């Protein structure tokens, strides 16, 4: 597995974990945890999109 592929898998897993933590945090009544995790769950795909765009412009040779 390339470093690029690993990075995308890791960002996807982190996004899912953050979304699950947000749902759990709101369910437990811990608003600050839910909000923080929800912000992370929204920011991680943005970062992943930025990373993919940056990797497309990198010349490998």
pTM of the full structure: 0.88
Mean pLDDT computed over every residue of the chain? 93
| Residue pLDDT, tens place only, 14-30 | 999 999 999 999 999 99
Q: How confident is the model at residue 38 (pLDDT cuts 50, 70, 90)?
A: very high
Distance CA 41, CA 29 (A): 18
Rounded distance between C-alpha atoms, residue 13 and residue 17, angstroms: 6
Interacting residues of 7 by C-beta distance below 8 A, sequence separation 6+: 51
């Amino acid at each position: 597995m390339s470093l690029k592929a690993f990075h995308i898998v890791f960002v996807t897993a982190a996004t899912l974990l953050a979304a699950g933590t947000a749902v759990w945090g709101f369910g437990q009544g811990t608003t600050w945890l839910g909000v923080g995790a929800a912000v992370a769950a929204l920011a991680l795909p943005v970062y992943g999109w930025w990373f993919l765009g940056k990797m497309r412009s990198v010349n490998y040779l």
